[in-house]
Amino acid sequence: GVVMLVGAIVMIMVGTAKLGGPAEGWRRATIGQRTHLVDFNIDPTVRLSFWSIYIGGSSFLLMIFGTKQSYIQRALACNSVRQAQFATYIGAILSALLELLAVIVGMTIFAYYYICDPLTSGKIQRTDQIVPYFMMDVFGSLPGVNGLLISGAFCASLSSMSSVVNSFASMFGQDVIKTICPDITDSRYTIVVKIISASLGLLTIVLAFLASVLGDVLQTALSISGLTGGPTLGVFLMGLFFPRANSKGAISGFIGGTLVGLFFYVGSKLYPPIVHSPPLSDEGCWVPMDNQTTTTYPEGAMVTNMYSYPYTTTGPPEPVYNTIFALSYMYYSVVTALSCVAIGLVVSYLTSMTSQQLAHPTLLAPIIARRYIKLESPRENSNDTSNDRVYVPLEKK
């Protein structure tokens, strides 16, 4: 994380200096329509708006910090609950700072190429290549600097991936391997977990090669995280806030929420929505002419011919399925979590209508435990040697 922060700050400082200062960078961003930082449009098909980031982003972060095993494992490694809370707050603040720096880096790169966009001019093939291209272009005259920044970014990514792979291997070992082989020795268990971790690492490398055909990497990552993490968040919400929730409902809700997410994700791939992007230009690039001469525009030239998707379209209206599948990928975690809760609660109530619901207050959110759960007195049957206590819903007054 520190390496990424330092790298972002260095790119901003050097890029801004080459532009001639922050004022010039802001002027170019204004010309390119990049200064509209907050969009309050409530349309759920808008990819990035205030509401999609606030609602969808909050749900995504809640899923990350509250249910993801790699983060929970770090929290459990703390000495106390207060220390874990402090670490979570620091992580959230640093994540927000990194996101802000990423936005500033993006605006800096756009201002640097504002009349000679590398994607439009064909110098790069994907938007994900813009940051490495910028590093090579700006720091190419400084031996070792561009390689240091790029390797630092990959180092930070690999450190995060290694924690995810190791935590998944540990979870799989505890929940699956030890369940199947409860008498397995510690040495053999360690070997098995290492093999699982190495296999997951190889699988990650294979998936990295598939990233080139999955479209935008960030959008794909957030979409897939919403597909898998949203139902997981839904299961946690069911357990925290609904005493009647049971295992059958949790499993049914998780499967149902995942299927709903797959419906939107696969549909968006089969029927790609029309994305209205801000304009890009290559008017300032050197362009070969028919007579083998070249031309360029001055650095301060006004951009008059910029290429983008149209903001308004004419012709017949879009089909209904295009509108449905145009849902912003930021909402995937919200939709899948709510679908999981809805399906899970229905199944839980249907499967527990004739049986008393048992719930332990320590597994519920405090506000739910205090209001709806009471601890019954020890069992009246003296012949019952069980020391278990029964927790049942309070009757409404």
Give tens-digit pLDDT for 98-108: 888 888 888 88
> Is the per-residue pLDDT at 382 higher than 80?
no
Residue range 55-70: mean pLDDT, rounded? 83
**pLDDT at position 286:** 60
* pTM confidence score: 0.70
**pLDDT at position 211:** 67
Tell me how far apart the alpha carbons of residues 80 and 87 are, in angstroms, rounded to a whole number.
11
Tell me how far apart the alpha carbons of residues 333 and 127 are, in angstroms, rounded to a whole number.
24
Residue range 272-299: mean pLDDT, rounded? 58
> Is the per-residue pLDDT at 186 higher than 80?
yes
> Is the per-residue pLDDT at 14 higher than 90?
no
Tell me how far apart the alpha carbons of residues 8 and 278 are, in angstroms, rounded to a whole number.
23
Average per-residue pLDDT for the chain = 76
**pLDDT at position 215:** 62
Q: Quick one: which H or E segment has residue 375?
A: strand 373-375
> Is the per-residue pLDDT at 72 higher than 90?
no
Tell me how far apart the alpha carbons of residues 149 and 139 are, in angstroms, rounded to a whole number.
9
> Is the per-residue pLDDT at 266 higher than 70?
yes
Residue range 183-201: mean pLDDT, rounded? 87
Tell me how far apart the alpha carbons of residues 138 and 132 are, in angstroms, rounded to a whole number.
10
Residue, of 52 and 298, whose pLDDT is higher: 52
**pLDDT at position 217:** 67
**pLDDT at position 267:** 83
Residue, of 53 and 372, whose pLDDT is higher: 53
> Is the per-residue pLDDT at 34 higher than 50?
yes
Residue range 28-47: mean pLDDT, rounded? 81
Q: What percent of the chain has pLDDT over 70?
A: 77
* Model confidence band, residue 259 (pLDDT cutoffs 50, 70, 90): very high
**pLDDT at position 377:** 43
Rg (CA), the chain: 27
**What pLDDT, in 10s, does the model give residues 332-370?**
889 999 999 999 999 988 887 766 566 677 777 877 777
Does residue 368 contact residue 241 with C-beta atoms inside 8 Å? yes
* Model confidence band, residue 165 (pLDDT cutoffs 50, 70, 90): confident
**pLDDT at position 9:** 85
Tell me how far apart the alpha carbons of residues 94 and 9 are, in angstroms, rounded to a whole number.
14
**What pLDDT, in 10s, does the model give residues 216-239?**
666 677 777 777 888 999 999 998
Phi, psi at residue 295, to the nearest 5°?
-145, 160
Q: What percent of the chain has pLDDT over 90?
A: 7
* Model confidence band, residue 318 (pLDDT cutoffs 50, 70, 90): low
> Is the per-residue pLDDT at 307 higher than 60?
no
User: Which of 134, 351, 389 lies closest to 252 in space, CA to CA?
Assistant: 351
Phi, psi at residue 374, to the nearest 5°?
-135, 155
Return the ∠ at Cα 152 (arms to 146 and 156), rounded to 5°: 155
The total number of residues shown for the chain amounts to 397
**pLDDT at position 218:** 67
> Is the per-residue pLDDT at 204 higher than 60?
yes
**pLDDT at position 338:** 92
**pLDDT at position 314:** 41
